Structure 1
Amino acid sequence: MRPLRFTTVALATAALALPLLGGSASAAAPGGPKPPPHSHASHDRLRAAAPEGFVIGTAVAGGGHHLEQDYPDPFTHDNEYRKVLGREFSSVSPENQMKWDYIHPERDRYDFGQADAIVEFARRNHQVVRGHTLLWHSQNPAWLEQGDFTKAELRDILREHITTVVGRYRGRIQQWDVANEIFDDQGNLRTQDNIWIRELGPGIVADAFRWAHKADPKAKLFFNDFNVESVNAKSDAYYALVKDLRAQRVPVHGFSVQGHLSTRYGFPGDLADNLRRFDALGLETAVTELDVRMDVPEGSLPTPAQEKQQAEYYQRMLEGCLEVDGCNSFTIWGFTDKYSWVPVFFQGEGFATVMTDDFTRKPAYYAVRDTLKEAALEDDCRKHGKHHKHGKG
């Protein structure tokens, strides 16, 4: 994706230009007709709006906290969810189904059922897959965290896991989050809560990338973390580590920012500048887990002003990615509030995705769609030598 300079504002859509009356901006005005549900039109989808070569993705709900909710597995049992998942997105990421505790529940047993189903779903729907994740301090099974292993045994366990999981999907996964959240917010390695770094030392990170590359030489291998959208101590630590690993010819291909944002905090306005410095190192960049949570009292709905601010955050994150040459992958962490992880983990916050429980599109959805359309039009005009101004080629 070539850098783009936007000449229109994506938020100037019909969804936001109309007066918003009370309650949720996604709800119908009192006495008026209910807004149209999710559109089935092929031209009116996020994946269709995206510029050529740019993938728009989402997390596939399942595993993790979903197992404790009062609904069956969304990906398996919710047909409407699966239809929207296939129609709207050109990339999918297993939300929990490839994490250690889910895919490797016992030392000598793997459970590939859900991961296999997601990869096959992606194949049928002409989608790429982001694998998530291989080396992490969280969501590890008890047998691993509480086991009495020697350093040599731990090293063999990690190598065997990476080789087995990555090798199983060789040629079918576009990007892997190899090392996830290895620094704290001060830019220090997690030497206490990350079992791999604590027991085996920092060098195990490079080994993880080497093993993943050997198992699938065509997959792009990423660092992935939260609170690294801006230039700060944490992203500085990744920048220094990547420079060092690249100098050692370790196969690190990408750096991705998760983008778990909240409207109670300011927007990371230096996102594009931060991504550009990793791009200058020869890395691909990506936004991998975007959601924007809001403070909403229990039993209430977001106000129109809240949904407008949320839409602006979604738009600005997408624009930041589109402005960077090597940022070609943009993933939102779930697309419906029905299955969002946010209310489970952030008390008093929620409504973080781009669709309501019944898959009605929010202003945030239109902000993403129209920004993609604008970028595609800019790209097309550039290719054909035309000047694009205010929506006209």
Structure 2
Amino acid sequence: MISRRAVLAGTALLAGCGQSTTSTQPDAPLPPLKSLAPFDLGVCAMTASFKDPQWGPLAATHFDRITPEWEMKMEYILSEDSPINFAEPEQWLRFKAADQILTFAKTNGMGMFGHTLVWYAQSAPLFDRLSKDYDSFFDAYQAYIDGVVGHYKGQLTGWDVVNEPMLDDGSGLRDCLWKQVLGVDYIALAFHRAHATDRHTPLFLNDYNLEYYPKKRAAFLRLAERLLNAGVPLHGLGTQTHIDATIA
């Protein structure tokens, strides 16, 4: 896999191609990567990134937006021992780390992209305990989305509402806790709830390896089409940039 450090190093090498090795002129400063792209360029991060004194200036110089890598996911935000308080999201949802990343973004004139509200790989013990009680599970599912989207209302460039819903072979949706309890409508429900809480932030359906697996890509696009035809407020599609040097 190509690391971010390798990408930056490769950019530096490309910038130097064609220059005489005997030149006594100082190297021209490298242009920011974001100035070379015809679109906003993003980077992911965790609060641990801020411990590296070089990371912050590099990120602010070369990227337009930032995406929390883990600390906006349910596994972090929903503390295991916090009782649900529908009226006070701050009392049962943990936003400290993601707020720190948002502060960094705002301070450096960057946008922040929300990642992610619903993901098959990380639920929370709370939802496991409620899985036999449909009504309580449904209420908690909506309350979680309300609380997280409401906390960041008007502050993000977009949300990955549902992350990685498709099986890699393209045969259908992943069998996850959300699907087991709420059925296939867990996806539409999440989008409707997020949009009801924040009507101005774009909402995305996100997955990975779409460039590698044609059947998965086709199934993903069919899912998006069904959601749109059903009136679901889906505003964009995301494909994760897991790339290596062998991709055509």
Letter in 2 for 1:116: D
Deviation of the 1:211 alpha carbon: 0.6
SS in 2 for 1:13: helix
The residue number in structure 2 matching 1:197 is 179
Deviation of the 1:15 alpha carbon: 4.1
Query: Relative contact order: is structure 1 or structure 2 higher (C-alpha 8 Å, sep ≥ 6)?
Result: 1
Deviation of the 1:82 alpha carbon: 1.6
Q: Does 1:56 pair with 2:41?
A: yes
Deviation of the 1:78 alpha carbon: 2.5
Contact 1:229 1:259 in 2 (8 A): no
Tell which deviates more after alignment, 122-131 or 143-152. Answer: 143-152
The residue number in structure 2 matching 1:13 is 14
The residue number in structure 2 matching 1:240 is 222
Contact 1:129 1:173 in 2 (8 A): yes
Contact 1:185 1:234 in 2 (8 A): yes
Q: Identify unmatched segments of 5+ residues in structure 1.
A: 1-9, 19-35, 63-72, 270-393
What percent identity do the matched residue pairs reach?
A: 32
Aligned match for 2:57, one of 78, 83, 96:
83
The residue number in structure 1 matching 2:241 is 259
Post-superposition, which runs of at least 4 consecutive aligned residues in structure 1 deviate over 6 A?
none
Q: Does 1:181 pair with 2:164?
A: yes
Q: How does 1:32-43 map to 2 (within 5 A)?
A: none
Q: Which deviations, in whole Å up to 9, do the C-alpha atoms of 1:346-382 show, x marking residues without a partner?
A: xxxxxxxxxxxxxxxxxxxxxxxxxxxxxxxxxxxxx
SS in 1 for 2:203: strand
Letter in 1 for 2:174: R
Query: 1: CA distance between counterparts of 2:42 and 2:233?
Result: 24
Letter in 1 for 2:49: P
Q: Which deviations, in whole Å up to 9, do the C-alpha atoms of 1:124-174 show, x marking residues without a partner?
A: 211111100111111223333355541111111111111111111111111
Letter in 1 for 2:120: H
Q: Identify unmatched segments of 5+ residues in structure 2.
A: 1-10, 20-25, 84-91
Deviation of the 1:79 alpha carbon: 2.7
Q: Which deviations, in whole Å up to 9, do the C-alpha atoms of 1:262-318 show, x marking residues without a partner?
A: 34xx41x4xxxxxxxxxxxxxxxxxxxxxxxxxxxxxxxxxxxxxxxxxxxxxxxxx
Letter in 2 for 1:85: A
Q: Which deviations, in whole Å up to 9, do the C-alpha atoms of 1:306-355 show, x marking residues without a partner?
A: xxxxxxxxxxxxxxxxxxxxxxxxxxxxxxxxxxxxxxxxxxxxxxxxxx
SS in 2 for 1:239: helix
Name the CA shift for 1:17/1:141 in 2 (closer, same or farther; >3 Å).
farther
Q: Which deviations, in whole Å up to 9, do the C-alpha atoms of 1:53-73 show, x marking residues without a partner?
A: x210100134xxxxxxxxxx2
SS in 1 for 2:114: strand
Name the count of aligned residue pairs: 223
Letter in 2 for 1:61: M
Query: 1: CA distance between counterparts of 2:233 and 2:76?
Result: 27
Query: 1: CA distance between counterparts of 2:238 and 2:97?
Result: 24
Tell which deviates more after alignment, 114-123 or 228-237. Answer: 228-237
Letter in 1 for 2:14: T
Q: Does 1:116 pair with 2:91?
A: no
Query: 2: CA distance between counterparts of 1:74 and 1:233?
Result: 36
Query: 1: CA distance between counterparts of 2:230 and 2:181?
Result: 22
The residue number in structure 2 matching 1:130 is 113
Name the CA shift for 1:12/1:116 in 2 (closer, same or farther; >3 Å).
closer
Deviation of the 1:117 alpha carbon: 1.3
The residue number in structure 1 matching 2:49 is 74
Name the CA shift for 1:40/1:94 in 2 (closer, same or farther; >3 Å).
farther
Query: 2: CA distance between counterparts of 1:251 and 1:112?
Result: 25
Deviation of the 1:261 alpha carbon: 2.5
- State the TM-score, normalizing by the size of structure 1: 0.52
